[in-house]
Structure 1
Amino acid sequence: MEQFMKELEEQEKAMENIRNKLALLPDLPGCYLMKNKDGTIIYVGKAKILKNRVRSYFTGSHNGKTQMLVSEIRDFEYIVTGSNMEALILENNLIKQHMPRYNVLLKDDKTYPYIKITNEAHPKLEVTRRVLKDKAKYFGPYPNAYAAQQTKKLLDRMYPLRKCNVMPKEVCLYYHIGQCMAPCVKEIPQSSYEEITHEITRFLSGGHEDIKKDLQRKMEAAAEELNFERAKELRDQIISIDAIMEKQKITTSDAKNRDVFGFAVDKGWMCVQILYMRQGKMIERHRSVFPFYGDPYSDFMSYVTQYYSDNPALPQEILLPAPDSEEDEDGPQLLQEWLGVKVRLPQRGLKKQMVSMAIDNAKVALDEKFRLIERNEERTSIAAENLGKIIGISSAHRIEAFDNSNIQGTNPVSAMVVFIDGKPAKKEYRKYKIRTVKGPDDYETMREVIRRRYERVLKENLEMPDLIVVDGGKGQISAAVDVLENELGLFIPVCGLVKDEKHKTAQLMVGDPPEPVSLPRDSQEFYLLQRIQDEVHRFAITFHREQRGKSMIASQLDAIPGVGEKRRKMLLKHFGSIKKIKEASVEDFRPLSIGEKLATQIIAALQDEES
């Protein structure tokens, strides 16, 4: 109760501070940074008028997701900018710098792939995710690596540019099958490369039909000359072009390269759909689905801004849906000024139709997501219910699972995961450093962890599990049951999951004494147990690696005379890792007030240990 009152008092102080700051907000453009009780930035936004936008978070009603964000805000900062354009760029940079949890983030863990014609004496084709200022030609972005690789594979067959990274001393197989001009042994005129580069550029810029007609003529000529092998090769190339282009849905009368965006929102989730139009033809599409917490159109524009900051190969035109409020009206115009590309909000005609198509696809993608979630939740919930019946308990609503991890007894740890109605409840996961067990004793480790967990459950009156799952067989089950019943007076069903020689879930053991339970391998119940065992193992092994890594770093540096705990922390903070300390020069240690003699000893000791 005392803790609750203290938190309430702190919250009231924070809100008073926010009210005072709100009164001082200027009528100017800028960015605002929302912070939680720990001072962590949880949301970054931009505003045409800071006073209006920031105050809107603390007045009126909000949807569930926005309310979740607002409930965590304990402070905010703002940065005034000279223009809306500066605010757009600053917002993008702040999001990348702080990665706030409530912002829309491009989490595709990649930049998009491009096809590149290198700027070399003997150029070649590459698929790359980095666009450099190296005078090479870049085409893309492609929605995925597979699309880019398939297109490159086709071009490699059609055009005889070199395929090797390092020039060999003699001709390779590609020369003999007509897919390389062998610059390793022949003098290739620059005009030949220019002609091939022009053809590839024409193809990748959307001139597929012209290329197909050329190939058709060559195929017919080869057939007339009875060169049927060459004719078949050309025919296969034509078929490959058709296969790559078969996804085209829309064509326009002009030949502009366009990116068409649409988005849809539902139940706190947003789907952004991008249609790629090249040379007037729709060649591909890409979608992203993610949770959002702010204003829908504002968060959509944040996504588009991040997308183009990571993809410098721009189209000639960008089509966007129109904003639905005055506050967001300047977003598309700012994007146009920043990128130097025409940004349109079509109201009628074919372009409006294209934006509508992107929006419709986004709606369908969201609907599919929710239907899949509902289906999986229903199946998972039924599996949890059936598992309870199989084990002989009335309910398996809450399952707590344990796993131990150590290597020959070093850095022993254990972990617990919680599944509620068959779904992981990650906020309730717990990690344990083993305190009392020396050496690799799995049974005693299990006893310690079960004791610590359920002593706390009793002390703090936490929710009891319906079922406890341990990683192992009779020994682990008996150890857990002994602590629960004889030490704590708890009678909670315990089952064990036994693995096979491939370390996969093989058998469920239940009862006292434990006996194997027959469970079909293709059942949803078996699949649920497998997911529980995989999840607790993953969680335990990740924790063990963290502890082992810290231990190894500490032991490596602590073993060096003259390096104590304080100096060890200082070295790691300055260099970032053991590897970088090894690679450092004596001069690099001077800012830490470490002399030449000790610096030499540190480098030598770490390098000796590695060898």
Structure 2
Amino acid sequence: MSVFNYKDEIAKIPFDPGVYRYFDALGEVIYVGKAKNLRNRVSSYFLKSNQHDRKTKRLVSQIRRIEFVIVPSEWDALLLENQLIKELQPKFNILLKDDKTYPFICVTNELYPQVYVTRNVDLKKGTYYGPFAQLRSMHTLLDMFKALYTIRSCQLALTKGNIEAGKFKVCLEYHIGNCKGPCEGLQSPEDYAVEIEQVHHILKGNLSLPQQYFKEKMLKAAESMAFEEAHSWKTKLEHLASFQSKATVVNPKIGNVDVLTIVSDEEAAYLNFMKVKQGYMVATQTFEVKKKLDESDVEILEMMLVEMREKYGHESKEVLSNLKPHMESKVDVVIPQIGDKKKLLDMSMKNVLYFRREKAERRAVEASATSSKKDRVLIRLKTDLQLKTLPRHIECFDNSNTQGTNPVGAMVCFKDGKPSKKDYRHFNIKTVVGPNDFASMNEVVGRRYLRLIAENQPLPDLIIVDGGKGQLSAACDALKQLGIYGQVPIVGIAKRLEEIYFPEDSVPLYIDKRSESLKLIQQLRDEAHRFGITHHRDKRSKGSLISELEGIDGIGKVTATKLLKYFGTVRAIRESPVDKLTEVVGPALAGKLRKHFETMQG
């Protein structure tokens, strides 16, 4: 093995920006790096060896040859570095693999384009949108396209010649109204292209043009007295509005912007990427990058900035981040301090911090093989919600009413992750008039913990309310009135996207949908809803039974309630002998009851 004279090699390297490659004794590339000043950067590996960590010293000991490429700027160096790392896969680099596991939506370049999902990108075939790290959002888009448009689902070669030759026949999709039969020339390419243009706009995050198109069609049909057609366009407009309401919306004034945040520990860096187009969150991905050397957060951020924009597109001229790259780049990286961009950055930071904590705790939980499944779920929940103690005692609240009538509240209790039905409680709303979920939640939570305090009973380890910020705020007000706010952790779970809200925090937490802790929260919420609905139905049923008994001469509400409390049902009262009825209401009313039921039977 020849001795490597690094001084001679360094003397040959210029002071320009570029990319350098280190080779080992076998001629393999073991590291690729970029630099604003090649000579200064490369020499730092050899002249400051006492400042390096163990991994970097190991890298330097294996270097036997250095090659470099000069480029116009540090940004160009970063792009070339990214490309070479993917191509060469050096063992000392953070590996930036081409991620072909995420699918794309392809709109093909055909006379009658197809819209389908693929994991293989061939730009000659059509326009690709994605990748979609969240498959649910992709399938939501596809379902919406099916509801809004009559795009063909077949893979036939619908060329002009094939259609004119009559090679194809319409299928079931045509007969049930999902396709207009372009295979037999029943739909013109121009008419089909209008719908495909709408699809392109939606996939680009621009919903305003499709909305305007549907609205104009609806109004035109209505003016022509074609009300059935107008209703069809209105339905499509409502589908689009429904999708819009479920999408994560940012202030449209922000326009197109990317967000990339990073936190790290000794072993890995954790990053969250968000792409916003026209005010809509169109892509988001949170991921882990294992460190190979002692890479700084800024270095990793610079590398992943190129990677994410290459993967998701680089239309945005601005990137929001919690760190500022050292290099001069062709994209403006800013750290917002106020306003909607700051809120967007905070949302990204919240997700990446949660992801790091989740990773750390998951490793800790998996390492604890002796802990039971019950405790694993509670440990996970403690981690996800940042609780100080294990939530062995959880109480969850829900309200039920029918158009403001018979409002009731329900509280279910889980202990050690399992329902404790003896601790369930129903509440008849007493102080609220009309359908007011917030006020009802305030009353129920206040009554529950006023009683626990009065009876010197222990408070739960966690309170969950079914609802978003409004219900959570009402519950918090009740705890404040009792002087126990801050003593018990409390969260709200919103049904729409299963967001978890914390008091005095407008940015929700999204727990992994596969997480055991989220499933436990959902189980509590669903059980509270079931328990509340059951009580609500019983109350309505009891009200109708009392009304039936009040129709009997001499029987008022008090007596009817007394009878139902004793016998349980009207049928049991009907089938009871006179002497049994006499024990409850006396001989006179017993006789009237018996006469009434005998008359009914006759």
TM-score by length of 1: 0.50
Please give the alpha-carbon distance, in whole angstroms, between the structure 2 residues aligned to 1:204 and 1:352: 26
Of residues 347, 360, 370, the one that matches 1:370 is: 360
Distance 1:187 1:355 in 2: 50
Shift in Å, 1:297: 1.7
The answer on 1:261 being equivalent to 2:260 is yes
Letter in 2 for 1:94: L
8 Å contact from structure 1 (residues 320, 345) kept in 2: yes
Residue 246 of structure 2: aligned partner: 246
Question: In the alignment, what sits opposite 1:79?
Answer: 68
Is 1:304 the counterpart of 2:305? The answer is yes
Secondary structure of 2:67 counterpart: strand
How high is the sequence identity, in percent, across the aligned residues? 25
Structure 2: runs of 5 or more not aligned: 159-166, 374-602
Q: Aligned in 2, Cα 1:319/1:80: closer, same or farther, shift over 3 Å? A: same
Instruction: Quote the Cα distance in structure 2 between the aligned partners of 1:176 and 1:143.
Output: 35
Distance 2:278 2:54 in 1: 40
- Structure 1 pair 208/103, CA: closer, same or farther in 2 (3 Å)? same
Structure 1 residue 365: deviation in Å? 1.1
Could you give the per-residue CA deviations for residues 90-117 of structure 1, whole angstroms, max 9, x where no partner exists? 3223212211123223346417533232
Aligned-partner Cα distance in 1 for 2:58–2:194? 57
* Aligned residue in 1 for 2:32: 44
Query: What SS does the corresponding residue of 1:285 show, helix, strand or coil?
Result: strand
Letter in 1 for 2:95: L
Match of 1:32 in 2: 20
Q: Does the CA contact (< 8 Å) of 1:114 and 1:127 recur in 2?
A: yes
Q: CA contact under 8 A between 2:320 and 2:341: conserved in structure 1?
A: no
Q: Aligned ranges for residues 359-508 of structure 1 at < 5 Å?
A: 359-379=349-369
For 2:240 and 2:95, locate their aligned partners in 1 and report how far apart those are by CA, in whole Å: 36
2:214–2:233 CA contact under 8 A, matched in 1: no
Residue 309 and residue 73 in structure 1: after superposition, are their counterparts in 2 closer, same or farther (change >3 A)? Answer: farther
Helix, strand or coil: the match of 1:184? helix
Query: Paired residue for 1:288?
Result: 287
Alpha-carbon distance change, 93 to 206 in structure 1, aligned in 2, over 3 angstroms? closer
Match of 1:524 in 2: none
Once the two structures are TM-superposed, the CA of residue 299 in structure 1 deviates from its matched residue by 2.6
Work out whether residues 258 and 317 of structure 1, in 8 Å CA contact, stay in contact via their aligned partners in 2: yes
Q: In 2, are the aligned partners of 1:247 and 1:284 still within 8 Å (CA)? A: no
Task: Tell me the equivalent position of 2:495.
Answer: none
How many angstroms does 1:211 deviate by?
4.7
Report SS of the residue matched to 1:379.
Answer: coil
Contact 1:115 / 1:138 at 8 angstroms: preserved in 2?
yes
Q: Which of residues 159, 163, 174 is equivalent to 2:153?
A: 163
Distance 2:129 2:276 in 1: 13
Gaps of 5+ in 1: 1-9, 337-341, 384-611
Larger of the two Rg values belongs to structure: 2
Change (3 A) 1:348 1:57: same
Residue-by-residue CA offset, 1:264-296 (whole Å, 9 max, x unaligned)? 211221122111212112243111212123233
Q: Distance in 1 between matches of 2:201 and 2:257?
A: 17
1:278 aligns with 2:277: yes
Q: Match for residue 603 of structure 1?
A: none
The answer to whether the 8 Å contact 1:155/1:200 transfers is: yes
Which residue does the alignment assign to 1:183? 182
Question: Equivalences for 1:333-372 in 2 at 5 Å?
Answer: 333=329, 336=330, 342-349=331-338, 350-372=340-362
Task: Give the 3 Å change call, closer, same or farther, for CA 72–200 of structure 1 in structure 2.
Answer: same
CA gap 1:320/1:75 in 2 versus in 1, 3 angstroms: farther
* CA distance in structure 2 between the aligned counterparts of 1:217 and 1:86, rounded to whole angstroms: 47
| Map 1:65-104 → 2, pairs under 5 A | 66-67=55-56, 70=59, 73-84=62-73, 85-104=75-94
Once residues 65 and 179 of structure 1 are traced to their aligned partners in structure 2, the CA distance between those partners, rounded to angstroms, is 63
Q: Quick one: structure 1 residues 242 and 102, their matched pair in 2 at CA, closer, same or farther if it must change by over 3 Å?
A: farther
> Any idea what the Cα deviations from partners look like across 1:402-444, whole Å, max 9, x if unmatched?
xxxxxxxxxxxxxxxxxxxxxxxxxxxxxxxxxxxxxxxxxxx
The alpha carbon displacement at 1:323 in A equals 5.2
Structure 2 contact 336–345 (Cα < 8 Å) conserved: no
Aligned to 1:433: none
**Which residue does 2:43 correspond to in 1?**
55
**Matched residue type, 2:299:** S
- Distance in 2 of aligned mates of 1:120 and 1:211: 22
Match of 2:492 in 1: none
The CA distance in 2 between the partners of 1:347 and 1:304, in whole Å, is 17
Output the CA distance in 2 between the equivalents of 1:104 and 1:379: 31
Task: For 2:326, give the aligned amino acid.
Answer: E
Amino acid at match of 1:330: M
Q: Relative to 1, partners in 2 of residues 1:118 and 1:309: Cα closer, same or farther, differing over 3 Å?
A: same
Structure 1 residues 192 and 359, CA gap change in structure 2 (3 angstroms): same
> Are 2:327 and 1:330 equivalent residues in the alignment?
yes
Aligned to 2:248, the other structure's residue is in SS state coil
Change (3 A) 1:290 1:88: closer
**1:556-571 alignment to 2 at 5 Å?**
none
Residue aligning to 1:123: 113
SS in 1 for 2:100: coil
Check conservation: 2:217, 2:233, Cα contact below 8 A. no
Q: Report the residue type matching 1:125 in the other structure.
A: V
Match of 1:142 among 122, 132, 139: 132
Give the whole-Å Cα distance in 1 for the aligned partners of 2:320 and 2:250: 17
Which position in structure 1 is the counterpart of 2:6?
18
Q: Is the 8 A contact 2:103 2:117 kept in 1?
A: yes
| Structure 1 pair 267–239 and aligned structure 2 pair: CA distance change class (3 A) | farther
Given the superposition, is the C-alpha separation of residues 139 and 382 from structure 1 closer, same or farther in structure 2, using an over 3 Å criterion? closer
SS for the counterpart of 2:252 is: coil
Matched position secondary structure for 1:259: strand
Contact map agreement 1:46 1:87 (CA 8 A) in 2: yes
* Alignment CA distance shift 1:94-1:213 (3 Å): closer
CA distance in 2, matches of 1:47, 1:210: 45
Deviation at 1:44, TM superposition (A): 0.7
Aligned residue type for 2:168: K
**SS class of match (2:185):** coil
Residues 82, 352 of structure 1: alpha-carbon distance in 2 compared, 3 angstrom cutoff? same
* C-alpha spacing 1:101/1:237, structure 2 compared with 1 (3 Å): farther
**Structure 2 residue 315 is matched with structure 1 residue 315:** yes
The DSSP-based 3-state class of the residue aligned with 1:330 is coil
Q: Distance in 2 between the 1:82 and 1:287 partners?
A: 31
In structure 2, relative to structure 1, the CA distance for the partners of 1:38 and 1:62 (3 Å cut) is farther
AA matched with 2:145: L
Three-state SS of the structure 2 residue aligned to 1:287 is strand
Q: CA deviation at 1:24?
A: 4.7
- When residues 161 and 68 of structure 1 are mapped into structure 2, their CA distance, relative to the original with a 3 A threshold, is farther
In structure 1, distance between residues paired with 2:56 and 2:371: 28
Residue 248 of structure 1, CA deviation: 0.6
Instruction: Give the letter for the 1:96 counterpart.
Output: K
C-alpha contact (below 8 Å) 2:102/2:132 kept by paired residues: yes
